[in-house]
Amino acid sequence: MGKPRLIVIIRHAQSEGNKNKAIHQTVPDHRVKLTSEGTRQAVEAGERLLKLLRPEDTLRIITSPYLRTRETTNGILSQLSGHPNADKIKVHEEPRIREQDFGNFQPCTAEMERMWHERAAYGHFFYRIPNGESAADAYDRVSGFNESLWRQFADEDFPSVLVLVTHGLMTRIFLMKWYHYSVEYFEDLKNIDHCQFVLMEKNPITDKYELKTKLRTWSADRKKEEDRLQRDGGPSAKDLKKLEAAAASLEVIYGGCVNGCSHSRTGKLRADTWNGLTESPIGETGSETAHDLRNKLAVLQAGRDFGGSRSGAGSRACSDEDSGSADEEMSKPPDILIRSHNVHSGEPPRTPENSIRTDSRDNTQAELLGDVVQEDGGVRL
């Protein structure tokens, strides 16, 4: 057969870690099981896969060795017994498509929250989880896996359909390597839903694989949100809370100084320190700093679902509807809004800029925040 006619990438079903992230404090990530809902999703995925297969198809399934992916694979297999070539299905475990390593047992919830904020500020592709991996590290092992696949495609008896049962971030990493996505586009991609299929179909003329599944991006969702706000006539109280949280995130200090510093005593960086968060040297750099800060404010609050259960990635039904789970809602980037109105007090409309300037004790910070709210703070991360 040679190259398979179809490659199907499937994210594992809902796991206990997706429902309760704190479980990683006591259960190793590779031993996290599916929930009862996840078991149902896996069986349903098997039914959908059976409908995709032709009677003459042969099938190979390659799964991550994590328990939740193996259980998902078992659920899928339970529905394939009716296929004519069911007895020829081959299943292999492949450690190179396991989830991004998050550093053994996770620390307390507060420290994990700090780490997600730090990752959002640093950049999701290059940020290395303490004692774990960065997405760039995962990219290296997926690169080796892809090369192994291409060598196997040279075998005449390679099955006609290849299924990869893996994880959210690893799906995006696999596609990034295969289709040569940029780092920026990778960071704009959202996780696929639990048990969602990503279809790569071979073009018989070009012999190349065409991506048949439309991927969701943060920038597209942000545009939808901007359009909604414009239709509704302005931001809601919930939107304003996001802005307040983004402003409060200026207090967060990331990293540490090996030789000691005054951060722990003051809770803030020294005013005379130039590092992109405090006042910059006089000149054009000042306006550039406001621009950089605007982008940072747009992501610091959001953990964003760049990974599996530990990152707070939500589990949604496989549809194009806008509604999502609570975790999915929490993972959205904060929106930098333009105007608000205090409907309870009867006060005239106040811009977020004015509110922040009034309440802030730091004039420099207020000036930067003023620049933030005058423009949209969206950024691809």
* Residues that are catalytic: 12, 99
Query: What is the distance, to the nearest Å, from the Cα of residue 50 to the centroid of all Cα atoms in its chain?
Result: 29
Asked whether 329 and 339 are in contact (CB, 8 A), the reply is no
Give 228's contacts (C-beta < 8 A, 6+ positions apart): none
Tokens of 8: 């199907």
Residues in the chain: 381
The strand order across the sheet containing 6-11 reads 90-93, 59-63, 161-166, 6-11, 197-202, 209-211
231 by Cβ neighbours in 10 Å (0-12 / 13-18 / 19+) ranks as: exposed
Cα–Cα distance between 36 and 13 in angstroms, integer? Answer: 10
Asked whether 134 and 125 are in contact (CB, 8 A), the reply is yes
Return the SS3 of 143: helix
Tokens of 365: 């910070």
Cα–Cα distance between 280 and 266 in angstroms, integer? Answer: 20
Can you tell me which residue has the tokens 């060795």? Answer: 65
Q: Which helix (H) or strand (E) holds 9?
A: strand 6-11
Cα–Cα distance between 208 and 269 in angstroms, integer? Answer: 52
